[in-house]
Structure 1
Amino acid sequence: MEERLARPWLKHYPEEIPHRIEYEEKALQTYLKEAAEETPDKPALHFMGKEMTFAQVYDEALRFANGLRGLGVKKGDRVAIMLANTPQSVVSYYGTLMTGAIVVQTNPLYVERELEHQMSDSGAKIMICLDLVYPRVAGVLKKTRLEHVIVTGIKDYLPFPKNVVYPYIQKKNTGIKVDISYNERTHAFTEFLKNNKPVPVELDIDPVEDLALLQYTGGTTGVAKGVMLTHYNLVANTTQALRWMHKIDHGNEVILCALPFFHVYGMTVGMNFSIMDRSKMVILPRFDTAKTLKAIEKQKVTIFPGAPTMYIGLINDPKVQKHDLSSVDVCISGSAPLPLEVQERFESLTGGKLSEGFGLTEASPVTHFNLMWGKRPSGSIGLPWPDTDAAVLSAETGEPAQPGEVGELVIRGPQVMKGYWNRPEDTNATFNGDWLLTGDMGYMDEDGYFYIVDRKKDMIIAGGFNIYPREVEEVLYEHEAIQEAVVIGIPDPYRGETVKAFVVLREGETLSEKELNDYCRKKLSAYKAPKHFEFREELPKTMVGKVLRRALVDEEKEKREKEAAGAKSS
C-alpha cells in the first residue's frame, strides 16, 4: 500500500502547518507542571464564578497525587473518574497521571450494570465521583475491585454564596438529597486535598510505552472495550490540534469546555489543549443553551469545541440575538456530521469559523479536519492531520481504492492506540499491520479531501454519544414479555440520530409503550434508551432467521420520504 499512498492532501496545507511535527516525548502531566512554574499567576480555568491559576491547579493536583499514593496507588494502577466538567475533573485527571496510574474516564450517566462492567474490566482500584452518582457507585463496590471512593460535589468549588445555595438548588432540580457516610473507604474530596501536601512526585515514565488513559468504547459486538492510549498518543494529538489552529493567539485564548471531559473529544480539544497551550478554560458542568450563551458573552470565549447538537441548540435559542458572540473565532465540530445550514448560521452569528472534523476513540481521537482558514468542501470531514496517513480500501480487492470509490477508511499515525485492554483478539482484528481499520465507509476525492458515507458498524451516534444496538437489544431481550427486538438509528433534527426499537411480544403478553420506556430508562443511560417504539407481529428476517436490520432502516427511510413528499404537495 505504501507505494500507492500519494498524500494529495498535503498540497492544501498552508505554509504555517507542517507536514511533519517533532513531538515531545513527555508525560502529559508535565505540561501542567511547566505552566505552573513558568506562568503561575495566569488563569487556568473559570467555573461558575470561581477562577483558578495554573499554580493553584498544579498545587491541588500534587495534593491529589500524594493522597492517591497514600491509598496505595502505584504506577500502572487504574483510577476511575466519574465526574461532570468541574475543576475537580482537571485536578483528579492530572493528579492521577502524576502517580503513574492510568485514568479510566467514566460517564456519570452510567447505570450500575454499565458501571460494573467497566470497573471489572479495567480493574480500577479508586473511583472519584460526584455525590449525585455515589449511590450507583456504592451499588457496585462489592462486585468490583474498587477499594476507595473519593466523593465531591459541584458546590465544593463554587464561590460564596453560591456554595451555600447550590445544594438547595440541586435538590430542587434533581429530587436527590445527598447524604454520604464517610469512612475509611469513602473520602470527601476537599478533605482529601487538605490532608495531603503539594510535594512533587518523582516518577520514571516512558511516554511512548506507558498508558495514560483507558477510554471505553463499543464495537461491532456492542461490548465496551478499553482503548489503551499512551502519554505520547495524547501529546501527539493535542500537538496536532495546536498546529492545525495556526492563526490562534497561543497562550491567550479562552476555550469553552462544554464537551464532557469523560469523552475523549472533550478531553483532548478542551482540557489537554488548554493546558498545553496555557490558555484559559471556561468550564460548564453540562451544556445548557442559556448558560452557554451567557458564558460566551461574559468570558469572551474565543475557541468553542462542540458537537452539532450544541450549535443547533444555540442558533435556535430565542434569545441568541440578545447576546454578543463576536469574541468567538474558532469552532471545532465533531462527534457527528455537521449540517451546512448549521455551519453557515453559526458563522453568521459569531463572525468566526466553524469547521468539521473526524475522529474515533482509538485515535485519541482526531484524524481529519477541514481547514479553519481555507477550502472547506461541503460534507467533507477534511484532510488528514500532520503525520496522519489515511486511505480507503476497496471492499472488493482490499487494496487502496480509486478517488471517488467507496471503501473502508483506514488510519495510521502517532495518535493511534496501542490496542484494546486485555483483548488481543479484538486488537488484531482492528489492525491491518500498522493501519487502524475504522469500520467507516467513505471515499477520498481527487483533491485529497475525505468523505464518510456510511458506517460499516451499526453504531448509532446520538448527540455525539456512541450507542451500540446490541447493548440496547440485550436489555430489551431481558424483559419477560419480549420475544424479539431490534434497534436502529433514525434521523433526529437535534441529536443527529436517535434510537428506535422494534419489538415482538411473546404470545399472550401485553406491554404498553410507557411501561417499556420506563423499563429501558431503569436499565440504560438516558442517551441510550430508545425514544421511539414500534410493536410488530414479526420482524423481517433472512432464510436462516437473522433479523434484517437494514430492511427496517430502509422502511424508515421510505416512510420519511413519503411524509416529506406529502407535506410538500399539501
Structure 2
Amino acid sequence: MTPADHRRRPWLAQYEPRVPATFTPECRTTNELFERGALAQPDTPAFLYFGTQISRERAAGDARALAAALRGELGLRPGDRVAVMLQNIPQLPIAFRAVWLAGGIVTPVNPMNKRRELHHQLNDAGVRIAVCLESLYWTVDDVRGETPLEHIVTCSELDYLDDQPAALDGHERIDCPGGLPFIDLVERHAAAAHLTPVTPQPSDPALLTYTSGTTGLPKGAINTHANVAHNAELITRWFDLGAGDVTIALAPMFHITGIVCHLASSAYSGTPLLMLYRFEPGEMLRHIERWRATWSIGPLTAYIAMLNHPDFQSRDLSSLTKVAAGGAPVYPAVVEAWEAATGVYIHNAYGMTETSAPTHLTPFRAHAPVDADSGALSMGIPGPNVDSTIVSIDDGSELAPGEIGEIVSRGPMITPGYWNRPEETEKAIVDGWLHSGDVGKRDQDGWFYLVDRIKDMITVSGYKVWPRDVEDVLYQHPAVLEASVVGVPDDYRGETVRAYVALKPGAHATPDELIAHCRELLAVYKAPREVELVAEIPKTLTGKALRRELRDRARAEASSAGGFPDV
C-alpha cells in the first residue's frame, strides 16, 4: 500500500495484518456461495434449529426440490419476485436458496407487517408467489385479490424439529385451505431436484429489501448477487470465521443484517447457523451455551435484554468470543457493561439496507474510540473495497476531519438503486456515492462517528440538537435501560427536546432526576425539558427505536395541550 493510499484512506493503518485493503470475491453470486459449502462439507450441519441438526446435504436437497416446484408447479419465471414472510426457521434459508436456484428474486417481508404494509410491498414488487408462516396465511390471503399474488406456500415452525422445544409450547399446525404446504412441495418434487439451476449474472437482483419505513413509505432497495456475495465474504474475513465457529441468528433474517451477516456469511464460512424462531433472551442464552456458539451481530437491544435476564450469570458464555452490534445506535455504557460481565468487547458496525449490511466495522480485537466532544462510540472504519467520506449537507462538498455532515460511501456492496424508483435512485446515488441520510464525522485516523439521521435533527432556538447526543448521556445514568429522544413544537424555541425513558427492572429515577443528570453533562439547550417514563421504547424488530412514532405522539399531545410545558 502506497503512502498516497494511506493519506486518502487513513483507516487502512487500523486493519489487522490478515485483512487485505481490497479483495476479489471468491463467489460472484449467492448460488455459488451456497453451493460452495454444500459441496465441501455435505455431512456437516447447515442449521441448528433449537435442538435439531440439519445437514448441508439435506438443506441443499430440499432447496433444489423447492426450486423445481417453483419453476414447474408454480410457474416461476426468471426475474419473478417471491415474497418470504418467515421468522428465523430452516424454511427461510431454504426458500431463499430455492428462489435463487430457480432464477427468482427474494423480497423479504417482516412477519409483523399489517395488511396495509403487506399490500404495498406485494404490489410494489409485483409478487406472484409468497412463502409465509401458517399463522400468517390469512393475512396474506386477504390481499391476494388486490395484488398480483397467485400462490401461497405455507410453513410451520414445527417442521424440521426432532422434538418440540418448550419455547414453542402452544404452537400448533394450522390448516390453510388454498395454501401449498412447504414440506409437501419438497417431498413431491424431490425426484426433480437434479434440475439445472438458473445461472444469474453478478449484477442481477438477488433481493428487493424494503427499507424499514421509519421515515416514510418503504422503498425496495435492490441488492444484487454480487452485493450479497461480497459482504458475506467481507464479514467472514473481518471476523476470521471458519472451522469451529457457530453463527447465531441474533437478528431477524428478513432484515438485511440477518440475511447477509447470518445467512450468507454462514454459507460462505461453512459455519452452522443457530436459529431459534424469534429472539427471546433466556432461550438465546441457553442455546449459546448448548451449542458453544461463537459469533453474532445484532441490535444492541438484544445484548441489553440478555444482560438483564435472570439467567445471564448462570450461563456459560465463554464460547461467545466474536460479538458485534449494528442496525441501531450503539452506546458506550452498554458496551462497557457487556465487556465487564463477559470479558468480550462488542464491536460496533454500520451499514444500511442499501449497502447490503456493513460498510464500516470496528476491527476485530480492537476497541473503537469514543468521541471526546459528544461521547459517541465510533461506528468503525470502512471495510475492504469501501471508500467513505463526509460531505456538507448544504452543498455536497467534502468536509475535513472533525466537521459534521452526511456520510457517503461507495463500493461493490452498494445498491444499484430502488425498484421502479428512478427519481429516488438519482437523489440517493450521485456519481457512484450513496448518500446515507445519516449525519456523522470522521477523525484524522479514519474512524467514523454517527451523529444522527438528518430528518431527526431538532432545532432549539436556532441551535442544532442531535437526539443521539442526548441519548448517549441518558444511557450513562445507572437506572436507564432504554432511551429515545425527539423534538416537539415549541412556540418560543421553535422545538424543544423530549425524552422517553424505560428504566431497568427494580431501578428508580424520577423525570426531574434524569433532567438534572442531562443538564450536568450537556449544554442547557440540549437537555430534555420533559422526560416521560415508559414501560418500553417502541422499536422495529431490528432494534431501531421508532422515533417517528414517538415524535408523532409527542406532537399530538403538545398540540392537544395547547403548547409544551416548562419543567
> Same fold judged by TM-score > 0.5?
yes
Structure 1 residue 44: Cα displacement: 1.1
SS at match of 2:88: coil
Structure 1 residue 238: Cα displacement: 1.1
| Contact kept in structure 1, 2:6 and 2:12, CA below 8 Å | no
Q: Please give the residue correspondences for 1:25-104 in structure 2 after superposition, counting only pairs within 5 Å.
A: 25-70=27-72, 71-104=74-107
| Contact kept in structure 2, 1:326 and 1:349, CA below 8 Å | no
| Contact kept in structure 1, 2:33 and 2:229, CA below 8 Å | no
Structure 1 residue 219: Cα displacement: 6.4
SS at match of 2:223: strand
Identity, % of aligned positions: 32
Does residue 310 (structure 1) correspond to residue 302 (structure 2)? The answer is yes
Equivalent-residue separation in structure 2 for 1:414 and 1:284 (angstroms): 32
Equivalent-residue separation in structure 1 for 2:137 and 2:7 (angstroms): 51
Partner of 1:255: 247
Partner of 1:299: 291
Structure 1 residues 127, 5: CA separation in 2 closer, same or farther (over 3 Å shift)? farther
SS at match of 2:390: strand
Structure 1 residue 15: Cα displacement: 1.2
Q: Which amino acid aligns with 2:88?
A: N
SS at match of 1:408: strand
Structure 1 residues 169, 367: CA separation in 2 closer, same or farther (over 3 Å shift)? same
The one-character-per-residue Cα deviations of 1:321-361 (angstroms, maximum 9, x if unpaired) are 11111110101100112222221222233333311010010
Q: Structure 1 residue aligned with 2:108, among 105, 110, 121?
A: 105
Equivalent-residue separation in structure 2 for 1:222 and 1:433 (angstroms): 25
Partner of 2:464: none
Structure 1 residues 310, 537: CA separation in 2 closer, same or farther (over 3 Å shift)? closer
Q: Structure 1 residue aligned with 2:124, among 116, 121, 126?
A: 121
Q: Which amino acid aligns with 2:441?
A: Y
The one-character-per-residue Cα deviations of 1:81-135 (angstroms, maximum 9, x if unpaired) are 0000000011101111101100000000011110000000000111000011111
Q: Which runs of 5+ in 1 are unaligned?
A: 172-176, 470-485, 496-519, 542-551, 563-570
Partner of 2:175: 179
Equivalent-residue separation in structure 2 for 1:442 and 1:36 (angstroms): 41
Partner of 1:383: 381
Q: Which amino acid aligns with 2:433?
A: W
SS at match of 1:420: coil
Partner of 1:538: 559
Q: Which amino acid aligns with 2:9?
A: R
Structure 1 residue 432: Cα displacement: 1.3
The one-character-per-residue Cα deviations of 1:178-231 (angstroms, maximum 9, x if unpaired) are 3322x4xx2011111110025234245343321100000156961211101110
Structure 1 residues 201, 347: CA separation in 2 closer, same or farther (over 3 Å shift)? farther
Q: Please give the residue correspondences for 1:394-433 in structure 2 after superposition, counting only pairs within 5 Å.
A: 394-433=392-431
The one-character-per-residue Cα deviations of 1:288-343 (angstroms, maximum 9, x if unpaired) are 11101101111111112221000001111122111111110101100112222221
The one-character-per-residue Cα deviations of 1:470-518 (angstroms, maximum 9, x if unpaired) are xxxxxxxxxxxxxxxx9x99554589xxxxxxxxxxxxxxxxxxxxxxx
Q: Structure 2 residue aligned with 1:207, among 191, 198, 201?
A: 201
Runs ≥4 in structure 1, deviation > 4 angstroms? 2-5, 165-168, 218-221, 459-462, 488-495, 526-537
SS at match of 2:364: coil
Does residue 227 (structure 1) correspond to residue 248 (structure 2)? The answer is no
SS at match of 1:125: strand
| Contact kept in structure 2, 1:326 and 1:352, CA below 8 Å | no
Q: Which amino acid aligns with 1:180?
A: C
Equivalent-residue separation in structure 1 for 2:26 and 2:201 (angstroms): 9
Structure 1 residues 345, 206: CA separation in 2 closer, same or farther (over 3 Å shift)? same
Equivalent-residue separation in structure 1 for 2:291 and 2:545 (angstroms): 30
Q: Which runs of 5+ in 2 are unaligned?
A: 371-376, 458-466, 472-483, 487-494, 505-537
Does residue 282 (structure 1) correspond to residue 274 (structure 2)? The answer is yes
Does residue 363 (structure 1) correspond to residue 374 (structure 2)? The answer is no
| Contact kept in structure 1, 2:167 and 2:283, CA below 8 Å | no
Aligned residues between the structures: 485
Equivalent-residue separation in structure 2 for 1:104 and 1:494 (angstroms): 37
Q: Which amino acid aligns with 2:90?
A: P
| Contact kept in structure 1, 2:257 and 2:357, CA below 8 Å | yes
TM-score of the aligned structures, taking structure 2 as reference length: 0.79
Partner of 2:510: none
Structure 1 residues 527, 14: CA separation in 2 closer, same or farther (over 3 Å shift)? closer
| Contact kept in structure 2, 1:328 and 1:351, CA below 8 Å | no
Equivalent-residue separation in structure 1 for 2:16 and 2:332 (angstroms): 23
Partner of 2:18: 16
Partner of 1:343: 335
Structure 1 residue 35: Cα displacement: 1.8
| Contact kept in structure 2, 1:151 and 1:188, CA below 8 Å | yes
The one-character-per-residue Cα deviations of 1:418-445 (angstroms, maximum 9, x if unpaired) are 1000010100010111000001111111
Equivalent-residue separation in structure 1 for 2:423 and 2:120 (angstroms): 19
Equivalent-residue separation in structure 2 for 1:158 and 1:320 (angstroms): 26
Structure 1 residues 47, 446: CA separation in 2 closer, same or farther (over 3 Å shift)? same
Partner of 2:344: 352
Structure 1 residues 454, 5: CA separation in 2 closer, same or farther (over 3 Å shift)? farther
Structure 1 residues 110, 58: CA separation in 2 closer, same or farther (over 3 Å shift)? same
Partner of 1:501: none
| Contact kept in structure 1, 2:347 and 2:367, CA below 8 Å | no
